[in-house]
Amino acid sequence: NAGVTQTPKFQVLKTGQSMTLQCAQDMNHEYMSWYRQDPGMGLRLIHYSVGAGITDQGEVPNGYNVSRSTTEDFPLRLLSAAPSQTSVYFCASRRQRDNSPLHFGNGTRLTVT
Protein backbone atom coordinates (compact mmCIF):
# COMPACT_ATOMS: atom_id res chain seq x y z
CA ASN A 1 0.00 0.00 0.00
CA ALA A 2 1.79 3.15 -1.22
CA GLY A 3 -0.27 5.70 0.78
CA VAL A 4 0.61 9.28 -0.20
CA THR A 5 3.39 9.60 -2.77
CA GLN A 6 5.18 12.89 -3.42
CA THR A 7 7.71 13.64 -6.12
CA PRO A 8 10.36 14.90 -6.32
CA LYS A 9 12.06 14.53 -2.92
CA PHE A 10 14.42 17.44 -3.58
CA GLN A 11 14.38 20.32 -6.05
CA VAL A 12 16.47 23.42 -6.66
CA LEU A 13 14.98 26.25 -8.72
CA LYS A 14 16.16 29.64 -9.84
CA THR A 15 14.02 32.66 -9.09
CA GLY A 16 11.29 32.99 -11.71
CA GLN A 17 11.26 29.35 -12.78
CA SER A 18 8.10 27.30 -12.59
CA MET A 19 7.55 23.74 -11.48
CA THR A 20 4.93 21.28 -10.31
CA LEU A 21 5.12 19.18 -7.17
CA GLN A 22 3.27 15.93 -7.69
CA CYS A 23 1.09 14.20 -5.13
CA ALA A 24 -0.86 10.98 -5.50
CA GLN A 25 -2.76 8.84 -3.00
CA ASP A 26 -4.17 5.35 -3.42
CA MET A 27 -6.46 5.29 -0.37
CA ASN A 28 -9.51 6.80 -2.12
CA HIS A 29 -9.40 9.77 0.25
CA GLU A 30 -11.78 12.58 -0.54
CA TYR A 31 -9.72 15.28 1.15
CA MET A 32 -6.23 16.28 -0.01
CA SER A 33 -4.07 19.22 1.02
CA TRP A 34 -0.68 20.88 0.73
CA TYR A 35 1.31 22.25 3.68
CA ARG A 36 4.61 24.03 3.88
CA GLN A 37 7.00 23.62 6.79
CA ASP A 38 9.40 26.39 7.69
CA PRO A 39 11.84 26.46 10.64
CA GLY A 40 10.16 27.70 13.79
CA MET A 41 6.78 28.00 12.05
CA GLY A 42 5.25 24.55 12.22
CA LEU A 43 3.19 23.51 9.19
CA ARG A 44 0.89 25.91 7.38
CA LEU A 45 -1.92 25.05 4.97
CA ILE A 46 -1.46 26.27 1.39
CA HIS A 47 -4.44 24.80 -0.51
CA TYR A 48 -6.86 21.96 -0.04
CA SER A 49 -9.46 19.96 -1.95
CA VAL A 50 -12.52 18.04 -0.76
CA GLY A 51 -13.03 16.17 -4.01
CA ALA A 52 -12.36 16.13 -7.75
CA GLY A 53 -13.02 19.52 -9.27
CA ILE A 54 -13.15 21.33 -5.90
CA THR A 55 -10.25 23.33 -4.45
CA ASP A 56 -9.93 26.12 -1.91
CA GLN A 57 -7.29 28.34 -0.38
CA GLY A 58 -5.65 27.74 2.94
CA GLU A 59 -3.60 30.04 5.14
CA VAL A 60 -0.73 30.85 2.74
CA PRO A 61 -1.99 30.39 -0.86
CA ASN A 62 -0.17 33.25 -2.65
CA GLY A 63 2.23 32.11 -5.35
CA TYR A 64 0.73 28.62 -5.62
CA ASN A 65 -1.89 27.00 -7.85
CA VAL A 66 -3.66 23.67 -7.50
CA SER A 67 -6.13 21.56 -9.41
CA ARG A 68 -7.91 18.28 -8.68
CA SER A 69 -8.96 16.50 -11.85
CA THR A 70 -9.04 13.05 -10.23
CA THR A 71 -9.56 11.70 -6.72
CA GLU A 72 -6.00 10.36 -6.67
CA ASP A 73 -3.92 13.35 -7.78
CA PHE A 74 -3.42 16.84 -6.35
CA PRO A 75 -0.47 18.68 -7.93
CA LEU A 76 0.91 21.95 -6.57
CA ARG A 77 2.20 24.48 -9.09
CA LEU A 78 4.68 27.27 -8.49
CA LEU A 79 4.24 29.66 -11.42
CA SER A 80 7.21 31.95 -10.73
CA ALA A 81 9.38 30.71 -7.89
CA ALA A 82 10.65 33.17 -5.28
CA PRO A 83 13.27 32.68 -2.53
CA SER A 84 10.46 33.03 0.04
CA GLN A 85 9.09 29.74 -1.28
CA THR A 86 12.15 27.85 -0.10
CA SER A 87 10.60 25.32 2.25
CA VAL A 88 9.66 21.71 2.80
CA TYR A 89 6.31 20.85 1.22
CA PHE A 90 3.99 18.12 2.41
CA CYS A 91 1.00 16.65 0.69
CA ALA A 92 -1.57 15.02 2.99
CA SER A 93 -4.90 13.27 2.60
CA ARG A 94 -7.68 11.84 4.74
CA ARG A 95 -11.19 10.50 4.60
CA GLN A 96 -13.95 13.04 4.99
CA ARG A 97 -15.33 11.49 8.17
CA ASP A 98 -14.69 13.72 11.13
CA ASN A 99 -12.13 11.91 13.25
CA SER A 100 -10.01 10.68 10.37
CA PRO A 101 -6.33 11.74 10.76
CA LEU A 102 -4.17 13.18 8.01
CA HIS A 103 -1.82 10.82 6.18
CA PHE A 104 1.30 12.62 4.97
CA GLY A 105 3.65 12.10 2.07
CA ASN A 106 7.40 12.13 2.72
CA GLY A 107 7.83 15.76 1.74
CA THR A 108 9.69 17.72 -0.93
CA ARG A 109 12.58 19.98 0.03
CA LEU A 110 12.53 22.96 -2.35
CA THR A 111 15.30 25.54 -2.57
CA VAL A 112 14.85 28.68 -4.64
CA THR A 113 18.05 30.62 -5.35
Partner 1 sequence: AQTVTQSQPEMSVQEAETVTLSCTYDTSESDYYLFWYKQPPSRQMILVIRQEAYKQQNATENRFSVNFQKAAKSFSLKISDSQLGDAAMYFCAYRSADGSGGSNYKLTFGKGTLLTVNP
| Alpha carbons 7 and 23: distance in angstroms, whole number | 7
Across the beta sheet with 76-78, what order do the strands follow?
4-7, 19-25, 76-78, 64-66
90 is a site residue for partner 1 (CB under 8 A)? yes
Residues 91-110 that bind partner 1 (CB under 8 A): 92, 98-99, 101-104, 106-107, 109
> Least separation, in Å, of the C-beta of 68 and partner 1?
13
Tell me the C-alpha distance between 84 and 21, whole Å.
Answer: 16
Residues lying near partner 1 in the complex (CB under 8 A):
31, 33, 35, 40-45, 48, 50, 56, 58-59, 88, 90, 92, 98-99, 101-104, 106-107, 109
